[in-house]
Amino acid sequence: MAPIKLAIIGAGPSAFYVASRLLSLLPVGSSSKLNIHLYDRLWAPHGLVRYGVAPDHPENCTHKFDTAAEDPRLRFFGNVNIATQSPVPHALSLPLSSLLPHYTHLLISSGCTTPILHPAIPPSDYCVPALSLVHWYTQHPSRPSPPPLQQLQHITLIGQGNVSLDIARMLLTPPSELAKFDVPAHVLAVLERSAVEHVSIVGRRGLQQAAFTTKELREMMNLTDASMVPLDPALLKEPDAGGEPLTRQQARTLQLLQKGSKNKPGTTRKTWSLEFFRSPLLLDLPTGAAQESSGVRPPAQLTLAHTMLDASARAVPTGEKSTQSTSLVVTSLGHRAEPSAPWYEPSLGHINTVGGRVVDPSGLTVRNVYASGWAATGARGVLASTMMDAYAVANTILRDAFPGEDVQTTPTEVLPRTVEDDAPPPEIEAALKEGQVLEYADWKVINAEEIRRGEKIGKEQEEHNLHITPYASASNLNPQLNRV
């Protein structure tokens, strides 16, 4: 087999799972030569595990990523943005054309980073995408502004997936309980000043179509200082004998809702509600004459269409509508890949692939170019499904690399057949010397310091402000990394 020199755009879970699989199937000393370079526009690796998962839900998959990174055939280059516009101004930006001549294989594993907005309620001071809150409490390097929680009494989340429940839980959990997790001190300070009393979680369909998991719902039910507003009993009935039977998860969810929250209604100052069969129509902002009362933001008026399911289980309006006051609307409607991403297909919202192989606009596969994870499938699935998808893509890469396989070949070629050396592009080499680009060892130094700082104050990790100037921080923490 010819040597494989693989560039991976993105260094989140899918990228590391593909790399780990390839390294294990082609061990050191085998007759097949393999080199893998991971590029990420953020200075730290691991993608959503670090900057998407709520801090009180720490994942334990990073040890597998560390094991892969210890293999000398894998190199990580953080703070490098390839082909798309970066939300991080200090990242080194390179066009895809700078990468292609230096690799025999390319994998795009850049995820889905663009939130889907609701057409009826455009972004404003009163309407923000969920991603801005998630990036705020995970201390994403794009540094979104903190929400003015000290002015907000009622927050409405549009969408009933796990991200909505994550945000609701972060807003309603006492900061003293969050303090033991990797929640930055400045985030805790904002939460401690919060005036939020109620969180509505709105979905256009019913209980059986809700996307949140039973585990996430159970955590909401067991919140220390908040209670759930009871649902209409009609929503909690078992399906008729002739209806579609409930799945195991749906049955557990129904049982949880029938039981109600640990804190009974009326016993807590903070509350939350699930509102089914509702879809936003209009967000009417307060006029300039509206005055704040005791520092509280004047509410907007959110008009909701009442919906029902048609024969295809699609939400359709009934003709009824209602209006509720709210301080902030947060849309959590999913994500798509960046439209500027290579081989992005607008009709899909992600890269077009067949069996992991990238397909160009004319319908031809692109030789030795692949996509994995959300970049290839859209924003769906959990870490377990991401891992299985990544393993399948890794297997496809190896099948294509062996001669004699019946693999579709096309005139679409963007990569050289062979590459003479194992080095990254010269732009990366120069940025490494200047300290603008981080490798995995640099990241481990900073990560160890974050853990040390966390241990001093009794928490898992304290990210502090190291992410602002990561390469300078690594240099300060370890003189051996001084490349500035």
69-78 pLDDT, tens per residue? 999 999 999 9
Average pLDDT over residues 312-319: 95
CB 380 within 8 A of CB 116: no
Compute φ and ψ for 94, nearest 5 degrees. -130, 145
**Which of these ranges, 89-93, 193-197, 269-273, has the smallest mean pLDDT?**
89-93
pLDDT winner (highest mean) among 195-209, 240-254, 373-387, 468-482: 195-209
pLDDT at 1: 64
Nearest one of 9, 2, 290 to 151, comparing CA atoms: 290
Q: What angle do CA 270, 207, 221 make, to 5 degrees?
A: 30
110-155 pLDDT, tens per residue? 999 999 999 999 999 999 999 999 999 998 988 889 999 999 999 9
Rounded CA Rg of the chain: 24
pLDDT at 115: 95
User: Tokens at residue 35, please?
Assistant: 């080199």
Task: State the average pLDDT for the chain.
Answer: 89
Going by pLDDT thresholds of 50, 70 and 90, the confidence category of residue 334 is: very high
Report whether pLDDT(475) > 60: no
Going by pLDDT thresholds of 50, 70 and 90, the confidence category of residue 10 is: very high
Nearest one of 125, 152, 107 to 415, comparing CA atoms: 107
CA–CA distance from 197 to each of 17, 152, 165, 324, 327 (Å)? 41, 8, 16, 15, 11
Partners of 271 in the β-ladder: 198, 227
pLDDT at 138: 92
Within 10 A of 315 (CB to CB), how many other CB atoms are there?
19
Q: Walk me through the domains of the chain, giving residue ranges and CATH numbers.
A: 4-113+336-438 (3.40.50.720), 117-333 (3.50.50.60)
pLDDT at 414: 87
**Which one is predicted more confidently, 10 or 469?**
10
pLDDT at 290: 54
Compute φ and ψ for 174, nearest 5 degrees. -55, 135
**Which of these ranges, 90-99, 167-176, 238-247, 266-275, has the smallest mean pLDDT?**
238-247
Average pLDDT over residues 258-277: 96
Going by pLDDT thresholds of 50, 70 and 90, the confidence category of residue 407 is: very low
In the chain, the percentage of residues whose pLDDT exceeds 90 is: 72
Going by pLDDT thresholds of 50, 70 and 90, the confidence category of residue 474 is: low
Rounded to whole angstroms, the Cα distance separating 351 from 338 reads 9
pLDDT at 159: 97
209-261 pLDDT, tens per residue? 999 999 999 999 999 999 999 999 999 988 765 667 889 999 999 999 999 99
Report whether pLDDT(400) > 50: yes
CB 189 within 8 A of CB 357: no
pLDDT at 481: 40
- Strand segments, DSSP code E, in 204-326 are 226-228, 270-275, 278-284, 300-309, 315-326
**Which one is predicted more confidently, 90 or 301?**
301
pLDDT at 404: 52
Q: What does the longest C-alpha to C-alpha distance in the chain come to? A: 75
Going by pLDDT thresholds of 50, 70 and 90, the confidence category of residue 466 is: very low
Report whether pLDDT(403) > 90: no
